[in-house]
Structure 1
Amino acid sequence: MGMSMRWGMTVPFGGVPLADHAAVYTALADAGFTDVWSAEVNGTDAFTPLTLAAAWEPRLRLGTAIAPVFTRGPGLLAMTAAALAETAPGRFQLGIGASSPVVVGDWNAVDFSRPFARSRDVLRFLRSALAGEVVDEEFATFTVRRFRLERPPATPPALMLAALRPQMLRLAAAEADGVILNWLAATDVATALAETKEAGPGFDVAARIFVIPTEDAGYARTVGRRMITAYLTVPAYAAFHRWLGRSEVLEPMWRAWESGDRKGALAAIPDSLVDELIVHGSPDECRSRVEAYARAGVTVPVMALMPTPELERGGAAALAELITALGRPA
């Protein structure tokens, strides 16, 4: 696997103001992290933390996981991606995805309809627009009239598509430069990648991996259970885990959740499931569990660091130490 392996971290970190992230980015690069990836839900937008990283730490590659395809108009999404690609030439990968009915509908007042078709159309639009072409086209889910980027990037960003189930995985393989996986065990990676056989050479596979670096397993599993009820009750993720073969283990949790029994839902999640889907333990144990994703075919494992009692007690010094401990294996 050697030193060519990529090693990612989700930014920004909770509890650290964005203005104080210059030191964080340098610490990540010093520790052997090659990539910083952002998300876009209800924290920071996906692009500001990466723009800061581009300016402050030229050693890092940058990625969005993900920028939703519904919440910006096609032209604005192309402009935003082009600006970051111009800021960090050759270092930026644009990851897009459908996001969720809550983010798109409840929080951004946009109609969440035909997520697969919208994702496909935005991917195709971006491919043309970021190449500097004039786009004048009726797509299935929107029409664009004579759009052309005023500043097309000299190096267009690679386009990654977030995918859970076969249809989207196959679209990523056929038309994107890579795929972004989320909420899966290392043992699930092969199942997902079996659907991407049509991908060309250099196809990247990023995965967001939740990491709770504490040896207090009770604490980690409590946090993990809360995360599982928050995510795996969302229809797209529930369907994903049914497809992965987890119906039986998740059915009691889904039933309790649907009847409004939040406590019962948490109690219905077995430790074994938490341990499969959430990486926890000492920093060394966490690092080797993340390496298992790389061995399974993930080319860009991206840790998402969750709070721990150690980090809350130890502050900035504990975070700096942890970054070093989680750094890329030699």
Structure 2
Amino acid sequence: MTVPMGGIPLADHGAVYTALDRAGFTDLWSSEVAGADAFTPLALAAAWTPRLRLGTAITPVFTRGPGLLAMSAAALAETAPGRFALGIGASSPVLVRDWNAREFTEPFRRTRDVLRFLKAALSGATVDEAYDTFTVRRFTLERPPAVPPPVLLAALRPGMLRLAAAEADGVILNWLAASDVPQALGVVGERKPGFDVVARIFVCPTEDASYARTLGRRLITSYLTVPAYAEFHRWLGRAEVFDPMWRAWAAGDRRGAGAAVPDEVVDALVLHGSPEHCRSEALRYAEAGVDVPVLALLPTPELNTGGPEALLDVIGRLGGGARS
């Protein structure tokens, strides 16, 4: 499950994490956009739920210096030895440039260089290296983790997918349908031992299809008009489907852009229906080759009005069964 949950203060997430554990969830994966940072919710979970695996999906490679990113990852790996995975990625110009006042240049090479630096630094090595996009002089972690965390790479198109397969410990997929997974994994090729495929899956567990599709269209027009995601879906073969949305968006017609997204595309990218139906649809990703399907729970009318009890009920039904 993606954490933290919207509308629940971080200080109250202990009960949420316990409910996720009891419901059968095995992993908690954070994100880092404009809410909580990627590490704090997982640090709390490390103390409150000592058997859940923890991961970031993703921590941007531009918004922290390489040394600080290694320190944050090492601290969490020390807190939760053997059960933390660091997911990194390029993020987007809006998050990096507009919100964090950093240059967003050469995202592929920056991501590759940070990946190489982290693999060395988290092993405890002293890094004294001039990479293509930055230089690090004589950096050594004072507290290298006894169990270095695997480093996973967020990847959309072939170049980054091939980099993940060659140099990372796993790949993180996002904004794709279950039917798209084989195309992405075809580029990854044969996986080395321990290589994890993670996918974030948006779920809106309500049987109010009109509500779910309206929310789904809003998300799709917000995300898939970003150039990297637009190119991703062109590569997946959706140029003809999304061209009307992209043209309307470029013309400033936000309402027209949403209206141009067909129901079947919304249904494929944003799962909705009963919690049991969402769970069964999410399992299709596992059948397609995803090792860790990570649900991202969206608001629903029932959750908006039902309070914490409704959330706990949905968690239980999405999980599908208690863990021993």
Please indicate the TM-score interval, normalised by the length of the shorter structure.
over 0.9
**1:98 aligns to 2:94 (yes or no):** no
CA distance in 1, matches of 2:63, 2:12: 28
Question: How far apart are 1:202 and its partner, in Å?
Answer: 1.9
Opposite residue 247 of structure 1, the aligned amino acid is: A
CA distance in 1, matches of 2:161, 2:87: 14
Partner of 2:252: 260
Question: How far apart are 1:156 and its partner, in Å?
Answer: 0.3
Partner of 2:224: 232
CA distance in 2, matches of 1:104, 1:235: 14
* Gaps in structure 2 of 5+ consecutive residues: none
CA distance in 2, matches of 1:264, 1:228: 13
Superposed structure 1 runs of 4+ greater than 6 Å apart = none
CA distance in 1, matches of 2:161, 2:321: 29
Partner of 2:310: 318
Deviations 1:261-282 (A, max 9, x none): 1111111111010001111000
Could you tell me the TM-score, scaled by structure 2's length?
A: 0.98
Opposite residue 47 of structure 1, the aligned amino acid is: F
Q: 1:179 aligns with which of 150, 160, 171?
A: 171
The CA RMSD measured in Å over matched residues stands at 0.8
1:111-150 to 2 correspondence within 5 Å?
Answer: 111-150=103-142
* Gaps in structure 1 of 5+ consecutive residues: 1-8
CA distance in 2, matches of 1:141, 1:112: 11
**1:37 aligns to 2:29 (yes or no):** yes
Q: Is the 8 A contact 2:177 2:269 kept in 1?
A: yes
Secondary structure of the 1:288 match is: helix
Partner of 2:148: 156
Partner of 2:160: 168
CA distance in 2, matches of 1:304, 1:280: 12
Partner of 1:6: none
Question: How far apart are 1:199 and its partner, in Å?
Answer: 3.2
Partner of 1:272: 264
The aligned length equals 322
Q: Is the 8 A contact 1:174 1:199 kept in 2?
A: no
Q: 2:205 aligns with which of 193, 208, 213?
A: 213
Deviations 1:161-192 (A, max 9, x none): 00000000000000001000000000000000
Q: Percent identity?
A: 73
Could you tell me the TM-score, scaled by structure 1's length?
A: 0.97
Opposite residue 112 of structure 1, the aligned amino acid is: F
Question: How far apart are 1:27 and its partner, in Å?
Answer: 0.3
